[in-house]
Amino acid sequence: RSAVNALDEQLQRIAPEVRSYLWHGAGRATYFSPLNFIPGRKAPIRAVKMCLEEAPHEMGQLNMLAGLGWAINLVNMKHLEIAQSFLFYHRNEPHILDAFANGVASSIVLREDITPNFAIKFIYTESQLANDELAILWQTFVQTPSQQAIEIYQPKLAKEQQLEKVFCIQNLQELTNF
């Protein structure tokens, strides 16, 4: 049993509302695991496997996957082929893609708040894609969530001083309907 699982059990007793933040952070940390720094196409695949094996419940798994998507996105904004490879490899796993998209959108909310007017719109709309299937995946799980993060979620969450809410997986559309 890992330290994260032990902490999850303790949080379940004393502060269950913060457990999702723990798992999201664990997902971000998974990206930086030494095993996942080994170059090659399998690195993000290993990270996904780690997320699914580490968390003992669906809430933890989804938050870890979203945290992983967050890290992949922020670290590789200038290397879009990393995210594209991730999308293509997991193209038949909608729960992984949905969590990844949430991580992308959440990371864009924070990035837009920290560095307003960064060329995020250009980065995510001018990507060269290898094929039509990848173009659809990109639009669905990266481009659209990024645009919504910039145009809708970040302004509303910043105005309401609720940016910390992006540090765990949740429906950002519902979260910003105040």
Q: For 78-121, what is each residue's pLDDT tens digit?
A: 888 888 889 999 999 999 999 999 999 999 999 999 988 776 76
CA distance 20 to 106: 14
pLDDT of residue 160: 94
In the structure, what pLDDT confidence band is assigned to residue 125 with cuts at 50, 70 and 90? low
In the structure, what pLDDT confidence band is assigned to residue 19 with cuts at 50, 70 and 90? very high
CA distance 20 to 42: 27
Query: Which residue carries 């994260």 as its tokens?
Result: 4
User: How far is CA 141 from each of CA 27, 33, 84, rounded to the nearest angstrom?
Assistant: 18, 24, 10
User: How far is CA 55 from each of CA 5, 64, 92, rounded to the nearest angstrom?
Assistant: 7, 8, 21
pLDDT of residue 78: 82
For the cut 60, the answer to whether the pLDDT of residue 41 exceeds it is no
Q: 41 — alpha (psi -120 to 50), left (phi > 0) or beta?
A: alpha
Greatest distance between any 2 Cα atoms in the chain: 49
Dihedral, 97, 87, 111, 26 alpha carbons, nearest 10? 60
What is the rounded average pLDDT of the residues 145-153? 92
What is the rounded average pLDDT of the residues 140-154? 93
pLDDT of residue 82: 86
Q: 170 — alpha (psi -120 to 50), left (phi > 0) or beta?
A: beta
Q: For 69-89, what is each residue's pLDDT tens digit?
A: 999 999 888 888 888 889 999
CA distance 74 to 108: 8
